[in-house]
Amino acid sequence: MSRILDDIKVGDWITINVRGKTTLERVKSVSSLFVCTDTYKFTRYGQTWPKPVGIIARPASLAEIEKLQPE
């Protein structure tokens, strides 16, 4: 399994999939093992911590981020 959140930095956006619904959240803190938002704590593999419960994260695409910007 690849560490899909390895290049994430504080302030980056990640896409979170919760039971088929996707949301975007901004990264609040990172460490060598974890990536945290206001709501979730993920391992660098994109799984929630301490228990993987089917919620996964990945870096947000530019198109997803642009949809958040007001026109």
* Domain ranges within the chain, ordered by starting residue: 13-66
Q: What is the pLDDT of residue 69?
A: 74
Give the model confidence (pLDDT) of 12-53 as tens digits.
999 999 989 999 999 999 999 999 999 999 999 999 999 988
Using CA atoms of 20, 42, 14, 18 in order, give the dihedral in degrees to the nearest 10: 10
> Strand locations in 1-71, DSSP E?
13-18, 21-26, 29-30, 34-36, 41-43, 55-59
Provide the pLDDT for residue 52.
86
Q: What is this structure's pTM?
A: 0.88
- Give the pLDDT band (50/70/90) at residue 59: very high
> Would you state the pLDDT for residue 71?
57
